[in-house]
Amino acid sequence: MDDLDSTVAFVKGEGKGDTTKLGITGFCWGGRIVWLYDAHNPAVKAGVAWYGRVVGDDSPMTPKHPIDLVNQLHGPVQGLYGGADDGIPNDTVDKMRNSLKTSSNVAARKSTIKTYPDTPHAFNADYRPSYRKEQAEDGWKLAVAWFKANGVG
């Protein structure tokens, strides 16, 4: 989180971007970080997580997981997941979806998760065999619209 805080501070200090419209997106491990950073930084307006894990075992490197921080989200997050992802089981995504819906946190309740049926992990990685053009293009359109609708675009 400190690295991302430093990045935001650098961009702000250099005048290279409008940090009042702060959004975050990430893929795989970065998708997990989207949820965590959104809960960490009150300036985040919205996030888009591409197939990031939402649950896991606690360890010194991963003391918290997105599902633990639902009630701390600052901006709504859109999750984009593959229904045939071998690394992120559907039941964990469903648990996250339910936690968002039942949260008392406004940003959490505004968050959404879309699961693409029969779609593997890394479906937007056009350099991998897992790439799925239709789902990747749909996800990108959804992400851009999500950011615009939530004050990032």
- The pLDDT-based confidence of 91 (bands split at 50, 70, 90) is very high
- Neighbour order of strands in the sheet with 44-50: 22-27, 44-50, 77-82, 112-116
Domain locations in the chain?
Answer: 21-149
Taking residues 73-83, report their average pLDDT. Answer: 98
Would you please indicate which residues are annotated as catalytic (active-site) residues? 28, 85, 121
Report pLDDT for 10.
97
pLDDT digits (tens, 9 = 90+) for 47-69: 999 999 999 999 999 999 999 99
CATH 3.40.50.1820 for the 21-149 domain, yes or no? yes
Mean pLDDT of the chain: 97
